[in-house]
Amino acid sequence: MPFADLARVDAHDKVRGAVAFAADDARPNLAYGAFAVATIGKGRLASLDVAAAEAADGVRLVLTHANIGAVASAGFIMGGGYGFQSHQPLISPEIAYRGEPIALVVADSLEAATHAAALVRATYETAPFAVELDAPGVEVVDQAETPLAHFIPPVAAGDADAAYARAPVQIDARFASAPQHQNPIELIACVAEWQAGRLVIHEGTQNAEAVRHGLAAALGLDAGLIDVVSPFVGGGFGQKNSLQGHTVLAAEAARRLARPVKIVVPRAQLYHLASFRPANRHHVRLGADRSGRMLAAIHEAQAQTSRHDLFPGEYATTSARLYGIADFRGKDELLRTDAQTPGYMRAPFEHIACFAFESCVDELAYALGIDPVALRLANDTTVDAVTGRPLSSRHVGQCLERGAAMFGWERRSMAPGSMRAEDGGLIGWGVAIGTYAGLRAPAIAKLKLTDDGRVEIRVGVHEMGQGVRTALAAVLARKLGIAPEHIVAIIGDTRAAPQHLTAGSWGTATAIPVVEAAADALLARLAELAPGGVSNREPAQILRAAGLPELAVEVQGKAPGQPDAIYDRLKAGLPSIGGPVYPEFVTYSYIAHFVEVRVEATTRRVRVPRVVSVADCGRVVSPRTAASQVRGGVVWGIGAALREASEVDPRYGGFLNADLAEYALPVNADIGAIEVAFVDEPDTRFNSAGVKGLGEVSMAGVAAAIANAIHHATGKRLRELPIRIEDVL
């Protein structure tokens, strides 16, 4: 039975401003931090003069490398640590990249701190640096020859080179994407406060447990003395997936001042203080026979990383999963540049891999004169070619067929430039599919019913706007027969339950099965209390009749195949999705996007008036927030395809964007109709709740569908993102 269309349980509080975001925190006695940042591309501080800043009105503390003391790096999250990068600003005079903090000024007001930060004077010894992929000094690292290969092995199946060489039809194309930055509505923000020997951090994060353990490592503290509280995040799409350098410094400043310290990273500084989608480029070869059967593919990717960390690339991992291609070879290379470490940004590899691969599939369709939907359907599969294991579910064919019907695809004429608008503009219709791995983290759920009829759920998951509170309320309301408004979720809080990183579209597949299991355990206890049966009585009535004030259960859950020791990693704030999971099968989510573009006749301005997206994410537990996830992914796909680029400065280093005027995003007027549908087939092999994942697959394939639609409108193949008006001329 499909789930009811429950409204967002936090909607009213959000629109009334009643929700506690870290950036809004205004507790008494707050001190405010502001950063002075490095103005060279790389090198080392020769001198740092903070006297004027220290003497400025309202300034309480200036932290620099000279007085920071024993603060250490918490390490890189993909290298066994807790930070988005291993480089912790202010702990040495070395400057790794332009824009990194060199001083933290803490004052009684934001204005005083910001003013005083501008009074910090530095001189530098400069060193050569590289910020572009082809600049001298960029070091190329084959990922397969690094420790990363242990947990992200290169994709290989069959003999792709030989099979490609034999293929009667060959597509060979190169793609590239600019670096891009997340610009969350809630800026990166934290409040650090010491309360009776405990450090309490209020921060919008996707990973409260890593913030906690990372702070312990950085500050030499017992993690048992640290609480991290993140009930709501104002946008978390990978950027907030680990400890960030500002939090360490806020905690240290709060300790020294014995008062709470707040840091809100200004948008202008976000481009250098937070991770970003790295610059990347691809060489894709796709071989097929003349009937359209895909025989072989080779996907070679290069992506930017920092000098100090290896941020892994997983591009070919995704493209290998789009179709049943028996012979496939992937290669990921990393290019070391002088920037902060790049990181995960919604559909980090999947968006780009699908852009490249699905553009090639469209080229193949045109090379063969086969309809692009029919070509995709003809290459569907039930087996994962890379591992040889069955897919636990795959309904991408249904996504394509249903999307084509909703879109009216049968009215499309194949030839480029053959469809015109009444105003003389060109119409292009494009299609592409996307995929994203099904993943599940370990979780512990604590469920409590009280005799007043309220239910409290404590579980490891963060609410970043995706709607997980609504999903939790939906499943508990249905299981327990309790109204959603009587269900309280305490999440994103290290005091409530161990908090695994909420990312990788695994939040629902992680939390919902264990919460449903907790509800079942609670119902079983109630049944013991009410031998006559629980079905016709409210849970709280049973409690009252039994004379119990409350009833609590605790349940834990993990992916099959993972050892019990995974719960130790969970509690230690370490990523816990890897290892020997799901030995029997492989799980992916899928989506099909159908896009209409209009290319204006004279200016060649590209509009996207209409998108139809049909997703296979397993069971849909929260229809309203699920549909919003897809619309959000489509909007971001439009931004990534047509707008967003972080511009590097080869002369001085760093990124040039500093605000939302210089970092172009789609605005409301750029977004037309986005029609969303779901296959809504539970995947109960993947987990008992039948949910796969949705957030990131929603964006995968959008850029390809747009590029394919532009080709259909204009005959031009555009292979670099973002696609700008001058490319279409």
The correct pick among 181, 213, 331, 346 for binding ligand MOS (CB under 6 A) is 346
Nearer to ligand MOS, 35 or 237 (CB): 237
Query: Least distance in Å: CB of 239 to ligand MOS?
Result: 8
CB-wise, 180 or 381, nearer to ligand MOS?
180
Query: CB-based contacts of 634: which residues, under 8 Å, 6+ apart?
Result: 593, 611, 613, 674, 698, 699, 702
* Beta sheet of 94-95, edge-to-edge order: 94-95, 43-49, 121-126
CB of 344 to ligand MOS, least distance (A): 4
Q: Which stretch binds ligand MOS (CB under 6 A): 11-19, 343-351, 481-489, 624-632?
A: 343-351
Of the pair 462, 604, the CB lying nearest ligand MOS is at 462
Choice from 61, 215, 345, 375 touching ligand MOS (CB under 6 A):
345
689 close to 414: Cβ distance less than 8 angstroms: no
For tokens 């009280």, name the residue.
Answer: 450
* Piece of 7-15, 44-52, 340-348, 384-392 that binds ligand MOS (CB under 6 A): 340-348
H/E stretch holding 221 reads none
**C-alpha torsion 406→407→413→414, nearest 10:** -100
Which 238-257 positions form the footprint of ligand MOS (CB under 6 A)?
A: 238, 241
Give the CB-side neighbour count of residue 347, counting CA atoms within 13 A: 33
Fill in the per-residue mask, 291 to 330: x = in contact with ligand MOS (CB under 6 A), - = not in contact: ----------------------------------------
CB of 313 to ligand MOS, least distance (A): 14
Specify whether 456 is catalytic. no
- Residue numbers 501-560 binding ligand MOS by CB under 6 A: 503-504
Span interacting with ligand MOS, options 320-328, 339-347, 393-401, 604-612, rule CB under 6 A: 339-347
Q: Can you tell me the distance from the alpha carbon of 398 to that of 375, in angstroms, rounded to the nearest whole number?
A: 14
Contact 642, 356 (CB under 8 A): no
From the candidates 456, 681, 696, 720, give the one annotated as an active-site residue.
696
Contact 319, 198 (CB under 8 A): no
Half-sphere exposure of 586 (CA within 13 A, CB side): 20
Pick 129 or 276: Cβ nearer ligand MOS: 276
Count of residues near ligand MOS by CB under 6 A:
11
Angle ∠(549,550,552) on CA atoms, nearest 5: 165
**Is the distance from CB of 189 to CB of 262 less than 8 angstroms?**
yes
| Least Å from the CB of residue 187 to ligand MOS | 17
Query: Which parts of 625-664 interact with ligand MOS (CB under 6 A)?
Result: none
Q: Nearer Cβ to ligand MOS, position 241 or 494? A: 241
Q: Name which of 180 and 392 has its Cβ closer to ligand MOS.
A: 180
Question: Which residue lies nearest ligand MOS, judged by its C-beta?
Answer: 238
Which residue, among 626, 637, 643, has the nearest Cα to 705 in the 3D structure?
637
Nearest to 223 by CA among 235, 208, 204, 238: 208
CB of 457 to ligand MOS, least distance (A): 22
According to CB under 6 A, which residues from 594 to 623 bind ligand MOS? none
Binding mask 682-721 for ligand MOS (x = CB under 6 A): --------------x-------------------------
- On the CB side of 344, CA atoms within 13 Å amount to 21
Whole-angstrom Cα Rg for the chain = 26
Nearer to ligand MOS, 81 or 428 (CB): 81
Residue 541 C-beta: closest distance to ligand MOS, Å = 42
Smallest gap from residue 506 Cβ to ligand MOS (A): 8
Q: Which helix (H) or strand (E) holds 642?
A: helix 623-642
Hey, what are 174's tokens? 């190169």
Report helix, strand or coil for 559.
Answer: coil
Q: Is 348 helix (H, G, I), strand (E, B) or coil?
A: coil
* Token representation of residue 526: 């109630």
d(CA 243, CA 415): 51
Q: Residue 510 CB, nearest distance to ligand MOS (Å)?
A: 12
Residue 253 belongs to what H/E stretch?
Answer: helix 245-257
Distance of closest approach, residue 206 Cβ to ligand MOS, in angstroms = 6
Stretch that binds ligand MOS, among 237-245, 363-371, 561-569, 604-612 (CB under 6 A): 237-245
Among 32, 232, 271, 344, binds ligand MOS (CB under 6 A): 344
- The reply on whether position 348 binds ligand MOS by CB under 6 A is yes
372 binds ligand MOS (CB under 6 A): no
Beta-carbon contacts of residue 536 (< 8 Å; ≥ 6 apart): none
Q: Is there binding between residue 462 and ligand MOS (CB under 6 A)?
A: no
- Strand ranges, E, within 289-442: 294-306, 327-337, 426-437
According to the binding rule CB under 6 A, does residue 84 interact with ligand MOS?
A: no
Stretch that binds ligand MOS, among 44-52, 190-198, 345-353, 651-659 (CB under 6 A): 345-353
- Say how far apart CA 640 and CA 531 lie, in whole Å: 58
Comparing CB distances to ligand MOS, the nearer of 180 and 241 is 241
Candidates 3, 21, 84, 237: give the one binding ligand MOS (CB under 6 A). Answer: 237
Site string for ligand MOS, 202-221 (x = CB under 6 A): ----x---------------
Phi/psi zone of residue 257: left (φ > 0), alpha (ψ -120 to 50 degrees), beta?
alpha
Q: Provide the minimum distance between the beta carbon of 494 and ligand MOS in the complex, in angstroms, as a whole number.
A: 19
Helix axes 702-714, 350-368, angle to 10 degrees: 30
Q: Are strands 156-157 and 139-142 parallel, antiparallel or unpaired?
A: unpaired
Contacts with ligand MOS by CB under 6 A lie at 206, 237-238, 241, 344-346, 348, 503-504, 696
Question: Known catalytic residues?
Answer: 696
